[in-house]
Amino acid sequence: MTLLMTTLSEYQENEGLSDQALSIKIGISNSSYSRIKRGIRKPTVKFYSGVGRAFPELKPLIDAEIYGKTNYTHTEPITHKTFMTKFREVFK
């Protein structure tokens, strides 16, 4: 499993999303997501763009996977911030 898929699975678990709910959030079918998750199918452009829209903080991992940078490491931990958290940070 790639770093992107591992991180996406962690997000899924943290938010309590089912595979179906996550696939809807990403914008692909449940069966496509399941096949990608199990490694049967390679991720598509639609998958990558959906993940980028649903989880903008994962864009560096998407870029690393698309461009083949297998040794990508985070410089800081990725945190999933809700809209309200971002709003509060801006308007302190």
Query: What pLDDT digit, counting tens, does each position of 3-36 carry?
Result: 899 999 999 999 999 999 999 999 999 999 999 9
Residue 57: C-alpha distances to residues 17, 26, 63 (Å): 18, 14, 11
Query: Could you tell me the residue ranges of all domains in the chain?
Result: 3-90
Q: Which of 49, 52, 58, 55 is nearest to 2 (CA)?
A: 58
* pLDDT at residue 27, as a whole number: 97
Q: Which of 20, 19, 22, 68 is nearest to 42 (CA)?
A: 68
Class (C level, CATH) for 3-90 = mainly alpha
pTM equals: 0.72
